[in-house]
């Protein structure tokens, strides 16, 4: 990179060099650099979700192996939630954070209650909202029987 205004912002070098390692061979170098710069700032949002919503910020113990497994499970959970949002959930939930998905998708429509030595299923009043998700299961990519 050559500075357009010459020595006005002189930092000691007339030319600055940047490197981007990639395996995308069919893009022109200018397009590749633009794409790389578009990603700026996205990793901080990912770290925020991992630390504050998927419990990667509070490690379980002082043992390195257990903490590494905990972090890997948090990242795996994030990847699965992202795949679910892109593959089966409606477009308005594409930017939903894990806490919102927990309340919208993963909450239980009912609860088992042990009362008077009998096991009962107590349903929530809004249990019908789960019938709206049947189409999402139909969109899941299933393996073709062969």
- Supply the angle between the helices 42-53 and 64-87 in degrees, to the nearest 10: 110
pTM of the entire structure?
0.59
Q: Is the pLDDT of residue 70 over 60?
A: yes
- Tell me what pLDDT residue 64 has: 94
Is residue 88 classed exposed, middle or buried when 0-12, 13-18 and 19+ CB atoms within 10 A define those classes?
A: middle
- Tell me what pLDDT residue 71 has: 93
Structure tokens at 44: 């901080």
- Tell me what pLDDT residue 45 has: 87
Q: Summarize pLDDT for 22-50 with one digit per residue, the tens.
A: 898 899 988 988 888 887 777 888 899 99
Residue written as tokens 């770290």? 47
Distances (CA, A) of 62 to 65, 66, 70, 71: 9, 8, 12, 13
Mean pLDDT of 116-136: 67
- Tell me what pLDDT residue 63 has: 93
Cα 61 versus chain centre, distance: 25
């Amino acid at each position: 990179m050559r500075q357009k205004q010459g020595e006005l912002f002189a930092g000691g070098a007339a030319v600055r060099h940047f490197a981007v390692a990639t395996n995308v061979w069919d893009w022109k170098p200018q397009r590749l650099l633009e794409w790389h710069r578009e990603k700026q700032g996205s990793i901080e949002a990912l770290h925020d979700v991992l630390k504050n919503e998927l419990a990667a910020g509070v490690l379980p113990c002082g043992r390195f192996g257990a903490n590494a497994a905990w972090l890997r499970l948090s990242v795996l959970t994030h990847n699965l939630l992202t795949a679910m949002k892109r593959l089966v959930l409606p477009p308005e939930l594409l930017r939903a954070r894990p806490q919102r998905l927990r309340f919208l998708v993963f909450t239980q429509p009912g609860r088992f209650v042990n009362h008077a030595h009998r096991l009962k299923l107590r349903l929530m009043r809004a249990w019908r909202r789960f019938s709206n998700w049947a189409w999402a299961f139909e969109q899941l990519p299933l393996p073709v029987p062969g």
